[in-house]
């Protein structure tokens, strides 16, 4: 009898253990299923691949199955996203609501800066431009000719564009630079249904980084492969030019910029101009400066630090006489005395348009060779500069 009781007891224990095992198996299956779904969900948020961006820090392009995402980073806030743009081939494709949705390729665009013209020309999409801010200051002849035929609308001043004209134009996008301030104009346009796209190439710290924004613009026309090919050639030419000065024994000292209403604006060490001076084989007083953009200096400090420099680059006028008329104290600088002053004004119009602020952005290799020609003329004795000229 006792043996039978023990057998019955063991039977119930085994039943309980079986139930526990079954319940654990169910829980593990549920957890596994849940984790599998979570992983699948997570993978859905991962791009299939991303564009290779070598120099620019202001944007990224990620490619998903049904769309691509351009991320514009805030230049004034580390690791912060300023804008997300979802590019789709079909307007019915669903995307996240944390950005704007644009159908590509673009058919009609408005621009708030002339620096985009050459990028568009490089990928044969200049015809897409139908509205331009500050049209009277445009150097590009094709844009000017179209404006004369009323095929391009003048959208007013770049800082205060005509909102009514932009909304009547109904462009696919309005591309413009952003600044370190709340842009009320852009906000009003966005609320009115105009797709505002920020292009911050001017905040990059090197010429190659600025030129790489070609890839961002090309994405709106589904021409990324063409842009990659064009940029690779530009990069190769730039690095080849840079090698010309790698072993120079004498590096001319450089001063830059000009005196405007009592303040002298000069390139900082981490600006694209400051890095250009170093790449061209020059010695720049602020090359170890860690700030970006431009430095606001007093005339006295500039005179103290630069009175004996070898070369004056990026002067604000086209002749030595104009420079002397601006301020007679300019005669105190050695480059004025030795007539070693240069300006990026070889391609200008009487209305004030300057191609250095247009096509040069897309041709860093040419700009670098121009500056090497100015600093080390013996290295490029047969070279004809494109954007830079020597003041007389």
Query: What's the token pair of residue 177?
Result: 């630079």
- What pLDDT is stored for residue 30 in this prediction? 42
Q: What is the mean pLDDT of residues 311-327?
A: 95
Query: What's the token pair of residue 115?
Result: 């620096």
Return d(Cα 212, Cα 334) in angstroms, integer: 37
> What percentage of residues in the chain have a pLDDT greater than 70?
88
DSSP character string of 298-323: EHHHHHHHHTT-SEEES-SSSSHHHH
Residue 8 has pLDDT above 80, yes or no: no
Query: What's the token pair of residue 265?
Result: 């604006």
Backbone angles phi, psi at 39, to 5 degrees: -65, -40
- What pLDDT is stored for residue 32 in this prediction? 44
pTM: 0.87
Return d(Cα 83, Cα 191) in angstroms, integer: 15
Residue 145's CB: how many other CB atoms inside 10 A? Answer: 11
Spell out the domains of the chain, with CATH numbers in brackets. Answer: 49-236 (3.40.50.1980), 244-390 (3.40.50.1980)
Residue 38 has pLDDT above 70, yes or no: no
Q: Which residues of 2-21 are buried (b: 16+ CB within 10 A; e: fewer)?
A: eeeeeeeeeeeeeeeeeeee
Q: Are 331 and 338 in contact (CB under 8 A)?
A: no
Q: Are 257 and 392 in contact (CB under 8 A)?
A: no
Q: Which residue has the higher pLDDT, 31 or 258?
A: 258
Q: Which residue reads 């704007």 in tokens?
A: 100
Residue 80 has pLDDT above 80, yes or no: yes
User: What pLDDT band is residue 11 in, cutting at 50, 70 and 90?
Assistant: very low
Q: What is the mean pLDDT of residues 47-53?
A: 96
| Interval 107-159: pLDDT, tens | 999 999 999 999 999 999 999 999 999 998 999 999 999 999 999 999 999 88
Tally of residues, the chain? 392
> For 11, what's the count of Cα atoms within 13 Å in the CB-facing half-sphere?
6
Return d(Cα 72, Cα 203) in angstroms, integer: 12
Query: What's the token pair of residue 70?
Result: 């351009």
Return d(Cα 201, Cα 218) in angstroms, integer: 14
- What pLDDT is stored for residue 39 in this prediction? 40
Residue 306 has pLDDT above 90, yes or no: yes
Sheet with 263-267, strands from edge to edge, namely 258-260, 263-267, 294-298
Q: Are 275 and 264 in contact (CB under 8 A)?
A: no
| Interval 228-255: pLDDT, tens | 999 999 999 999 999 999 999 999 999 9
Q: Are 140 and 114 in contact (CB under 8 A)?
A: yes
Q: Which residue reads 């005395």 in tokens?
A: 337
């Amino acid at each position: 009898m006792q043996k039978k009781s023990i057998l019955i007891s063991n039977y119930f224990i085994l039943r309980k253990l079986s139930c526990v095992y079954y319940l654990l198996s169910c829980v593990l299956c549920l957890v596994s299923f849940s984790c599998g779904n979570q992983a699948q969900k997570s993978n859905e948020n991962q791009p299939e691949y991303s564009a290779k961006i070598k120099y620019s820090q202001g944007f990224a392009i990620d490619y998903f199955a049904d769309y691509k995402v351009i991320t514009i980073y805030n230049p004034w806030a580390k690791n912060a996203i300023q804008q997300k743009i979802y590019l789709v081939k079909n307007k019915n494709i669903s995307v996240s609501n944390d950005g704007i949705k644009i159908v590509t390729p673009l058919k009609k665009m408005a621009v708030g800066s002339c620096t985009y013209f050459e990028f568009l020309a490089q990928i044969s999409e200049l015809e897409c431009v139908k509205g331009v801010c500050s049209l009277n200051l445009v150097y590009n002849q094709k844009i000017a000719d179209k404006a004369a035929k009323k095929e391009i609308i003048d959208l007013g001043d770049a800082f205060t564009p005509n909102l009514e004209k932009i909304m009547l134009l109904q462009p696919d996008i309005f591309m413009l630079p952003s600044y370190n301030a709340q842009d009320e104009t852009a906000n009003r346009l966005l609320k009115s249904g105009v797709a505002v796209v920020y292009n911050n190439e001017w905040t990059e710290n090197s010429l190659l980084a600025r030129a790489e924004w070609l890839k961002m613009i090309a994405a709106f026309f589904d021409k990324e492969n063409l842009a990659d090919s064009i940029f690779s050639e530009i990069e190769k030419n730039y690095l080849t030019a840079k090698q010309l000065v790698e072993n120079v024994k004498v590096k001319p000292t450089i001063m830059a910029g000009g005196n405007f209403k009592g303040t002298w604006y000069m390139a900082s060490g981490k600006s694209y101009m400051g890095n250009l001076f170093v790449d061209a084989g020059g010695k720049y007083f602020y090359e170890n400066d860690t700030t970006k953009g431009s430095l606001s200096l007093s005339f006295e400090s500039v005179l103290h630090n630069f009175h004996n420099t070898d070369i004056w680059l990026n002067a604000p006028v086209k002749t030595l006489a104009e420079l002397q008329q601006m301020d007679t104290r300019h005669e105190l600088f050695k480059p004025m005395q030795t007539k070693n002053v240069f300006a990026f004004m070889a391609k200008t119009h009487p209305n004030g348009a300057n191609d250095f602020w247009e096509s040069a952005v897309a041709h860093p290799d040419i700009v670098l060779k121009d500056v090497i020609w100015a600093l080390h003329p013996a290295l490029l004795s047969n070279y004809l500069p494109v954007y830079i000229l020597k003041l007389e």
